[in-house]
Amino acid sequence: MPKVAYGLFEYFSTVGLPTVLIFVAGLLLSLWILSSRNPRVKWPPGPLCFPVVGCLPQLIISGRRRQPTDLLPWYDTYGDIMHVKFGEQHVIMLGTYELIQEAFVKNAATVSARPTWIYFLRQTVGKGGAGVIFKSGHEWKELRRFTLSSLRDLGLGRKSLQERIQDEARYLVQNIEDENGKAFSPSDRIGKAASNIISLIVFGARHDFNDTPELLPVLEEALKSGEGIQFFTNLARFLMPMEKIMSLVDRLYSLIRQEVDRHRQSFDPTDIRDFIDLFIKVTQEEQDPEIYTEWNVFRIIVDLYLAGTDTTATTLRWSLVHMVNHPDVQKRVQQEIDQVIGQGRVAKMEDKARMPFTEATILEVFRLSTVVPMGAPHATSETTNLAGYTIPKGTIIMGDLYPVLHDKNNFEDPYKLKPERWLDDDGKVIKSDKMIPFSMGPRICLGKGHAEMESFIFFTTLLQNFTFKVPEGEKPPDGVEGLNTISFTPYPYDVCAVRR
């Protein structure tokens, strides 16, 4: 092989540039033809896809930052079900509630796999997948059942999850008080508060706000590496900083392994302290040893952090953006807090039913600032019919949540914060099937209930204690555009928290 490579190098060094370009073009065309399997497949309409790179040039070769709105013109041109190629990968994009429901609910049996064959996932979770987010089939169902059951059981005989969130909300308030109304960035504090809840559930311990748990910055840096679109193609090895990402992943697993080893040394089957203890108990009882492996528990812990830290913290960051941009909404929420809760205690979930405007405001933040615009990728485990098209096995299916939540037919003035859209004439909260920020079907976000509880208690407690304002002389933070990688986060911003 080295001789062949050397011979080609010698040959190209003697021929002209046109010959080299023709050769490269021919090679790319050949690779494209070889990668275009199932030529008889009648794909849904979609944009022009180039050999090898697919539609990546239109999506990532640009001078501006990528936004969740980037695909909206394509839906207008090609329709609500669209065929796109990310590099060599065939991807079906679904842009309406009805199509996502057809795929993820009605066809859940064949559209609930994960595309663990793509390069990035092969490198991070293995070809067979692991954990609850990136596992498929029977093992995924069993691990999801175990995880949800564990989360429900934890806290029996101790503080409930709600009490833990209330305590953490108090700590967050105390920490913000130290700023004395001066401008500060709330991002790290909110991230630590959300991380502490998951740390209590998984590891049985929280961290002081002056300390940064090693796991949190490693996870956040891994999440922000590269752009979401690059994630789906095998070209990720060239487009993303894979060496850096894999170093972060290895560090993440090393930290988790240390925690598991510490728990094993002090494990007492009669005193289950947290999720790791539950896992150790199950493995000692030898329940399905092929499913309850150390590799799967590592991935479940990462999944819990993804589902319970990043999404919740990002939602709270967006909520403060919208409050400083809409002081009238902030004032109405505070009036409701004063009427229902007062200043003598922390909010609890039972208060939510008597606080319709606060609930409506949180719903509007979930809708307007879709934290995971495309959700997690699904894949067909066998040939499937969607909207009249026959979709082959091994095709990635993406339910694009952003156009659903920003469709003017579903929500009037979709890019404006309007909590009143969620209230009827009697001031009661209206529910909508189109409200799917956590996706839908069997693969609905694992942390949905957790995120809703945290968002309500944290948001209410913050506005109970502070009025948030834009620092004098600074521009208000952007309420529509943000940093769009795996999740959609606000651009960095500062606020002033004035004690009420």
Binding region? 445
Give the residue among 479, 474, 468 at the shortest CA–CA distance from 322: 479
Cα separation, 76 vs 345, whole angstroms: 50
Residue 239 is which amino acid? L
Cα separation, 494 vs 189, whole angstroms: 12
Burial of 55 (0-12, 13-18, 19+ CB in 10 A): buried
Q: Are 217 and 248 in contact (CB under 8 A)?
A: no
Q: How far apart are the first and last CA of the chain?
A: 73
Cα separation, 420 vs 392, whole angstroms: 44
Q: Are 47 and 55 in contact (CB under 8 A)?
A: yes
E runs forming strands in 323-393: 378-379, 384-386, 389-391
CB atoms within 10 A of CB 298: 21
Give the residue among 282, 287, 257 at the shortest CA–CA distance from 269: 282
Cα separation, 170 vs 343, whole angstroms: 12
Residue 54: phi and psi, rounded to 5, are 60, -130
Q: Are 108 and 94 in contact (CB under 8 A)?
A: no
68: tokens are 């969740």
Cα separation, 258 vs 347, whole angstroms: 36
Max intra-chain CA distance, the chain: 83
| Angle at 372 (CA atoms; ends 366, 374), nearest 5 degrees | 120
Annotated binding site for heme: 445
- Please name the residue ranges forming H helices in 266-409: 275-284, 294-305, 311-325, 327-340, 356-368, 401-405
Side-chain-side CA neighbours of 414 within 13 Å: the count stands at: 16
